Each structure stands twice: as structure tokens, then as C-alpha cells.
Amino acid sequence: MFVSAIAFVEGTPKVQQIVEAFSQAIESGEWAPGSKLPSVRELTLTLGVSKFTLNEALDRLRGRHLLTSSQGRGYFVAMDCPRPASVTWVDLLPQDLLSVLRRPLVTAGGELRPGGGHLPEDWLNGEAIRQAMRSVVRAPSLRIAGLGTPAGLLPLRQALQQKLHGEGLSVPVEQIITTPNTVQGLDMLMRLLARPGDTVLLDAPCYFNFHANLALHGVKVITIERRPDGFDFNALEHLLAEHRPSLYLTTSVLHNPTGHSFSPSQAFRLLQLTQQYHCHIVEDDLYGDLHPNPPPRLAAVAGLDQVTYLSGFSKILSANTRVSYVVAAPQLAANLTNMKLMSGGVTSELFEQIVYRMLSEGSYAKHRKRMVQRLMEAGGRVEQWLKRCGCELPMAYEGGMFIWARLPPGVNGELLAQEALKRSMVLAPGALFGYDPAHRDSMRFNVAHSDEPRVQRVFEALLLRGVAQSTPPAGT
């Protein structure tokens, strides 16, 4: 059992925030039933709260029957709090520890975020976004009533059509469908493309939510190692021949977490093989716009009968400006539009208007250009720093947000991340990105967040103090 620091919100009693965080951890199964909480003293230190505050929170949790306490022996997670019905999610985790490490990655928790999946607030062009919001709010074209257009706001889809054309993917606007975010776009596509029992191929390592989402669709998942040279293509052909996956879900350019992009020749061999074995590709292109000189996308090379394309703006504009989009073959695009209505995956015209303005008025292009440049510079520095730390970098850095580093020999990434959380630093150990032990000695670094002296000092201190070599405490 591991208790992480809480990023307390102003204006809410800390007691309540502790109760919420602990309830979450218990009810989500992060803290195993029966496991013992750290001592009150340790907890007050970890959370930075008074003994009084902590005890009040613990009492309330006892009142909810989430905790039990026995005189002198401390507090325990109640035995009879059932595992979540969505065990899929919980069962996916090699161990509870991983969900503890994952949570801060998907929440605002953590002060230093070298493991984070987004750009820092001060890198984003908040002013341009606020400006776009202001003009949208002013505009009479903003319809307050109504659900907007099922396929997505037409002017936005036309702007996307132009953007895609510039990237070598020319499609009728009818085949461009907006979705609220990329995970939901993927989720709706899987509902249309994957049938329970199908086999789906993933990269190892890959974005952890790919595993989590596929678990919802009752498909069998197989993985192939993503390497600097793409794959071991013989291994790929063997997998395709033996398991006959109906889908391959991948991030083609600036792959999360490795930063790898398929070269044209790698893409060609991949497309040849998947076509030969009737394996449809779902191409996630969430990071491509961060590449200084992106290689052709798979969809642009092979067309939409073989590749369905997904992208969005959460990484470059804002995770809170929820507009992503899917580019698909005509029938699939029509089905996706119906799926949006049936599953509530409709997009907000307000956000569509905001993104439309930023695309059509050029502020997106300007901002993107700045991001690409700034990332290249930070990436170069972080590469050097990681090497000085004794890390090996299997992939040459070619831009974007992520560097995938092999930690110095003997360093345990999960323990390192665990210790880092106590210093409210969020790391992304390799184990989060797949179950292949081969990733456990690696770690994903966000170059924007890692290019900070404070981050580097804390990380170096952790390495030096050798905490990571220590063996994990039993029962985590």
C-alpha cells in the first residue's frame, strides 16, 4: 500500500479532500482490502497536514466502513469493500502500485511533472485560446440551444480538410467527423470496428489508455516491440500470420512513449504486411503536429480503406478544448456519426467554434511553429542531461514531447517514481506503458517539464541517494 501526496485545492476543507482521495484509492481497488495504512505520523508528513485534520478524515472514512482500526495496531482498509465492477481496469494493472503511479498522470496532481503527458501551462498559448473564446462568446453565430451538427461543425471540418490536404491526405468533408476527444474517438471506432473475441495488435510500449480502452471491448490484445528500426518485421509477419489480428492500433508519428516515427520505408513494409493479412490500421496522430518535419502518415500513404485516422488538439492547444476528429471511409464515417448520437459522444459546438477560429485565423499555425522549435531546443538539452545521468536513449530524438530513456543499471523505475511522488514529482516509469518486463528499466520523459533545474535536481538526488536500488516494501 502506498499513499501519495495530495495536491490540495483551495476553498475546500482538507479533511474532505483527504476523505475523497482515500475513498477513491480504496473504492478503485488501489489499496487492497485488509492492507495496513502507514502510521498516523507518516501520513501527517506525507500529506503535510496536522494530526487533528488527519484523524478527523480517518474517522469519517471509518464511518463509511472504508477503514477499520484496531487499538494500537493502526488503520486497515476494510475487508468487505468489493472490487470494482469495471475490474477490467483494475485487472489490467500488473499491480496496484501502477494505478497509484498512473493517477497523477491523468490528474492535476504533482508539482513537478517530468512524467506528464501534456505541455506546461506556460507553454500553451493561453492568451490566444482565451481570445478565441472571447470572440466566440461575442459572436452571434454561437448557438446556445441545440446539439450542433452530428458530424461536427461544417466550417471546422472544412478547415480540417484543408489542413489534411496539406499533409497529403485529401478527403471529402463528409469523411471528417469530429469527436470530443481522441480516446472517445478511439472508443467509438472500436465499438464499430472491433467485435468481442477479435485480436488487436498494439505497440509495446504504448499509451496505457489503449490497453485500458480495449479491455472495454472484450478483444484479445497482442503486442509487438516498437523499435528504432520500426519492428522486427519477421516477428511482425509471424504475429500477423499466427494471430490474425483484425486491427492494429498505433501512434505513427512521435509515438507515445518512445518518440519514434515510422520512416517511409518502415511505413511501406508495415502497410504491405498488414494489407496482406487483412489487418486494418487505426492510426493515432495526436503528436504529429509537434514534429518539425513529419513523415507521411499511414492514412495518406495507404488510403482510408486500410487505415482509419485519428487526431486532435489536446496536446497543442489545450486538453480542456475538447475537439478531436476521425477521418474514415464513407460508411464508417456515417456509422461514427450515428454512434455519436447513440452513445452521447457528441461534440460541443462551442469548442468547435474555438478551434475553428484558431485554425482559420492562423494562431494555431503560429503557436504550433513556436512549440516545435521550443521542443527541439528543450529536447536537445534534456537528451544531454539524461545521458549525463547515466541513461541510455535507444531512439534518436527527432522532436516532440517525449524521450524514452533506459535508466542506469539496477535502477527500479517504479520505486523511483514512488519516491518522486513523495517529493510531489510525477514520473512515468516504463511499466505504465505495457506489461513487457523489457520496459521496466525505462522511463518516459516530457522534455518541456524535464528542462527545469528543479526537476533535474530532484531526479539526480533520487538517483544518487540510490533509493531506487532498494527492494520494494512487501505488500505494495
Question: 386 to 415, contacts with its own copies by CB under 8 A?
Answer: none
Note whether 434 binds its own copies by CB under 8 A.
no
Does residue 72 bind its own copies (CB under 8 A)? Answer: no
User: Is 95 near its own copies (CB under 8 A)?
Assistant: no
∠ at Cα 440 (437, 442), nearest 5°? 135
Q: How far is the CB of 15 from its own copies (least distance, A)?
A: 12
Selected from 149, 275, 469, 476, the binder of its own copies by CB under 8 A is: 149
- Within 293-322, which residues bind its own copies (CB under 8 A)? 318-322
To its own copies, the closest distance from the beta carbon of 265 in angstroms equals 33
Q: Which is nearer to its own copies, 12 or 39 (CB)?
A: 12
Kindly state the smallest distance separating residue 207's Cβ from its own copies, in Å: 12
Query: CB 426 → its own copies: shortest distance, Å?
Result: 12
* 170 near its own copies, rule: CB under 8 A: no
Query: Looking at 124, 300, 382, 405, which residue binds its own copies (CB under 8 A)?
Result: 124
Verify binding: residue 84, its own copies, rule CB under 8 A.
yes
CA distance 282 to 422: 38
- Please tell me whether residue 326 binds its own copies under the rule CB under 8 A: no
Total of residues contacting its own copies (CB under 8 A): 103
CB of 250 to its own copies, least distance (A): 18
Tell which one of 79, 144, 464, 474 touches its own copies (CB under 8 A). Answer: 144
Is residue 360 part of the contact set for its own copies (CB under 8 A)?
Answer: no
Task: Based on the shown chain and the rule CB under 8 A, indicate whether residue 79 belongs to the binding site for its own copies.
Answer: no
* Binding residue (CB under 8 A) for its own copies from 36, 41, 51, 83: 83
Asked if 33 touches its own copies (CB under 8 A), the answer is no
Q: Which is nearer to its own copies, 337 or 442 (CB)?
A: 337
Minimal distance, residue 9 CB to its own copies, in Å: 6
The minimum distance between CB 144 and its own copies, in angstroms, equals: 4
For residue 120, give the nearest of 458, 457, 454 by alpha carbon.
Answer: 454
Distance of closest approach, residue 154 Cβ to its own copies, in angstroms: 6
Q: Which stretch binds its own copies (CB under 8 A): 173-181, 381-389, 422-430, 439-447?
A: 173-181
Site string for its own copies, 104-123 (x = CB under 8 A): --xxx---------xxxx--
Can you give the chain as a three-state secondary structure string? CCCCCCCCCCCCCHHHHHHHHHHHHHHCCCCCCCCECCCHHHHHHHHCCCHHHHHHHHHHHHHCCCEEEECCCEEEECCCCCCCCCHHHHHHCCCHHHHHHHHHHHCCCCCECCCCCCCCHHHCCHHHHHHHHHHHHHCCCCCCCCCCCCCCCHHHHHHHHHHHHHCCCCCCHHHEEEECCHHHHHHHHHHHHCCCCCEEEEEECCCHHHHHHHHCCCCEEEEEECECCECCHHHHHHHHHHHCCCEEEEECCCCCCCCCCCCHHHHHHHHHHHHHCCCEEEEECCCHHHCCCCCCCHHHHHCCCCEEEEEECCCCCCCCCCCEEEECCHHHHHHHHHHHHHHCCCCCHHHHHHHHHHHHCCHHHHHHHHHHHHHHHHHHHHHHHHHHCCCECCCCCCCCCEEEEECCCCCCHHHHHHHHHHCCECCEEHHHHCCCHHHCCEEEEEHHHHCCHHHHHHHHHHHHCCHHHCCCCCCC
- Cβ closer to its own copies: 196 or 453? 196
Cα separations (Å) of 27 from 23, 81, 86, 473? Answer: 6, 7, 11, 22
Q: What residues between 202 and 231 interact with its own copies by CB under 8 A?
A: 209, 212-213, 215-216
Closest to its own copies by CB, 61 or 239: 61
Min dist CB 6 to its own copies, Å, is: 12
Residue 223 or 353: the one with the smaller Cβ distance to its own copies is 353
Strand partners, 448: none
Would you count residue 274 as binding its own copies (CB under 8 A)?
no
Residue 344 found at the interface with its own copies (CB under 8 A)? yes
